[in-house]
Structure 1
């Protein structure tokens, strides 16, 4: 698994433009967090503001909070533990280098991280630096339950069948289903990452689940 932020990662925060920790960004009213607990939302927003000003300890706490979700997304995309770990580290490295220029723009910080992760994953495979590594390890530890009819389709698939089927979907459908039903992200959060409207995500989700159902073996289709 990905571990706590290393010294080399945090040391990269010493960028000249990050020195003014009391800098005014003018977009504080757009700050948003998807956490249900009000105290936790307030805490995370405050940590982001501190990290934007160059506070590496605050960034480390943000890493602790978000790295699990980023890792799981990348694991489902790559099907490789080492590659998911590498891309998770790269996601936070890039986020750290960009913290001083981060703007809320009505977007949750977690969605911003997920966008970075998704772009890195896409770039990695486009560049052809490596082939997908197949893994047969137990996926149970990575699964997040999500209620609803679509999750019933996913529940009918074994981990191996699910990963194989997801790989065959168009990129946006695959990413939508990973975020919604394996990550447990909301419609709004998924829309923010993919740059689509809530309605478009619902349609993307429906098409993805329908396509997954078509990829199910005959025995599972009848369940």
Structure 2
């Protein structure tokens, strides 16, 4: 079944069709939320809420040239924004999120350097505004085109290109400061 056919069936109330859409998008939505929250537990919870909300409102989805995925990302964006607003600055970090299995054959010093580089990059990314974090996730993690990112973020494609350029410059400056 094509995505359009599956989506039409889901809008008509076909639970099997919605299940197919869920399977198609659950990983992408989870990844997006995980990168925005930094917590696998919260990402699982929020991902479930995205699809619960989508299932409850799918009859209202109107295909006006906007991809179904953009609609899901918009729901996810709103839930993540609420999550950030509702949570205090102090976050609990489960121990299992910091436990890394070594890469086979990797020397402990190499693993330490790699871990420090990743943690440094994540610290720099977390300093970005939520809007810029969202852009980086959609562009580099989800590999979405600018046109779809524009729909998800509610901006023009030109505004996305400009924001992308400014974000990369800002990241470069921050990373250069860290190297000094």
When normalised by structure 1's length, the TM-score is 0.67
Partner of 1:136: 98
1:177 aligns with 2:150: no
* Secondary structure of residue in 2 paired with 1:105: coil
CA–CA distance in 2 between the matches of 1:133 and 1:159?
A: 20
| Change beyond 3 A, Cα 1:159–1:199 | same
Partner of 2:113: none
Query: Equivalent of 1:103, from 36, 59, 62?
Result: 62
* Secondary structure of residue in 2 paired with 1:211: helix
CA deviations on 1:177-218 (whole Å, 9 max, x unpaired) are 110012211111111100111111011111111111122155
Shift of 1:219: 6.6
Worse overlay, 169-178 or 49-58: 169-178
1:52 aligns with 2:14: no
Partner of 1:17: none
Partner of 1:199: 158
Shift of 1:133: 4.5
Task: State how many pairs are aligned.
Answer: 162
CA–CA distance in 1 between the matches of 2:87 and 2:176?
A: 31
Partner of 1:88: 47
The structure that is helix-richer by fraction is 2
CA deviations on 1:146-198 (whole Å, 9 max, x unpaired) are xxxxxxxxxxx932122211211112111111100122111111111001111
Partner of 1:158: 117
* Secondary structure of residue in 2 paired with 1:216: helix
Asked if the contact 1:136/1:160 (under 8 Å) is kept, the reply is no
Partner of 1:71: 30
When normalised by structure 2's length, the TM-score is 0.82
Partner of 1:144: none
Partner of 1:33: none
| Change beyond 3 A, Cα 1:164–1:102 | same
